[in-house]
């Protein structure tokens, strides 16, 4: 059996390396959009697709009507440029890559379409479409100074220690009311823009939120995401949530109903599932509930102690 320990999620999408640069030790800083020329129309369009997805691809989209109304930047903050905010800094440097979830090598087109289907509850788009080419151009522009096969400091999500206990939905609900409901509302449905094309504050559960197949439906990903970025005004240097609050709020949000999406081909080697993957079967004796909410150290120890093959 393959030995597996969970990794901090890499939330970027990718294709091929665009350029190389010296390795950075300080957090990655996105290129300035002011440097874009008038001829960089695909890059500009790609950024707009990330920042205002619903305007183009949402239920009333100008181009297609294929997604749930959220914008990509609801999960990839500041159009995918925020440190530890699910940014796209490592996209062009690290793809194509083999991913255990699909059991295959994946390109940027595959990852984009995965996000459209899993996070935005939508449909895939043609890999040769203007929209896909624009997204590729934007990701490569963002990563133009990132060395090949590296992930800059600040990519992915912020590390967060596991709790020794299970995450608590009751405690999480109390903290949600205090820390989250003013933006995302008590019912978790967020706040729509007056024009109704997109959300000012996105929904955290329900039909318009990310589905059960999204990466943020894993509690470790969601806890790490909110720890470094929420509530408003938070930075990864100055979190406003404690570690326990982040895990408990994540548990509460992920306990609420949302659209179910099932991809039967996922995790062909079940022993490679992350320890907080919320759906069985598993290559271990722990329950689905423990895989969803913890405690995780016993599961982690189980895999660590397996003989390597």
Contacts of 187 (CB under 8 A, 6+ apart): 206
What does the pLDDT read at residue 15? 33
- CB-based burial label for 126 (10 Å; 0-12, 13-18, 19+): exposed
Structure-token pair, residue 188 = 């978790």
* 8 closest CA partner among 204, 215, 205: 215
Question: pLDDT value at position 309?
Answer: 61
Q: Are 208 and 68 in contact (CB under 8 A)?
A: yes
Single pTM value for the model: 0.90
Q: What is residue 191's predicted lDDT score, i.e. its pLDDT?
A: 97
Residue 22: burial class (beta carbons within 10 Å; 0-12, 13-18, 19+): exposed
Helix, strand, coil content of the chain in percent (nearest 5): 35, 5, 60
- At 97 the three-state DSSP class reads strand
pLDDT for res 219:
98
Local confidence pLDDT in tens for the 309 residues of the chain: 333 333 333 333 333 334 333 344 789 999 999 999 988 999 999 999 999 999 999 999 999 999 999 999 999 999 999 999 999 999 999 999 999 999 999 999 999 999 999 999 999 999 999 999 999 999 999 999 999 999 999 999 999 999 999 999 999 999 999 999 999 999 999 999 998 889 999 999 999 999 999 999 999 999 999 999 999 999 999 999 999 999 999 999 999 999 999 999 999 999 999 999 999 999 999 999 999 999 999 999 999 998 876
Rounded Cα distance between 238 and 250, Å, is 19
């Amino acid at each position: 059996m393959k030995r597996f320990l969970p990794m901090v999620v890499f939330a970027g999408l990718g294709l091929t390396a665009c350029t190389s640069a010296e390795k950075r030790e300080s957090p990655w800083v996105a290129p300035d959009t002011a440097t874009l020329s008038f001829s960089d129309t695909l890059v500009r369009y790609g950024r707009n697709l990330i920042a205002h997805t619903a305007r183009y691809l949402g239920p009333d989209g100008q181009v297609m009507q294929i997604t749930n109304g959220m914008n990509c930047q609801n999960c990839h903050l500041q159009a995918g440029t925020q440190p530890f905010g699910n940014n796209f800094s490592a996209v062009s440097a690290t793809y194509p890559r083999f991913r255990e979830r699909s059991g295959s090598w994946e390109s940027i087109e595959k990852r984009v379409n995965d996000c459209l289907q899993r996070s935005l509850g939508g449909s895939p788009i043609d890999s040769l479409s203007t929209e896909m080419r624009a997204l590729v151009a934007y990701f490569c522009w963002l990563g133009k100074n990132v060395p090949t096969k590296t992930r800059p400091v600040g990519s992915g999500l912020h590390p967060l220690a596991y709790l020794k206990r299970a995450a608590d939905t009751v405690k999480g609900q109390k903290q949600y009311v205090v820390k989250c409901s003013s933006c995302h509302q008590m019912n978790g449905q967020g706040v729509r823009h007056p024009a109704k094309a997109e959300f000012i504050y996105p929904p955290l559960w329900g039909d318009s939120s990310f589905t059960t197949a999204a990466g943020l439906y894993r509690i470790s990903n969601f806890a790490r995401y909110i720890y470094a970025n929420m509530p408003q005004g938070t930075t990864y240097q100055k979190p406003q949530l404690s570690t326990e609050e982040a895990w408990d709020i994540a548990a509460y949000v992920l306990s609420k109903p949302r659209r179910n999406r099932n991809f039967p081909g996922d995790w062909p080697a079940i022993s490679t599932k992350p320890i907080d993957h919320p759906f069985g079967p598993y290559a271990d004796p722990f329950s689905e509930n423990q895989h969803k909410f913890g405690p995780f150290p016993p599961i982690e120890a189980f895999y660590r102690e397996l003989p390597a093959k």
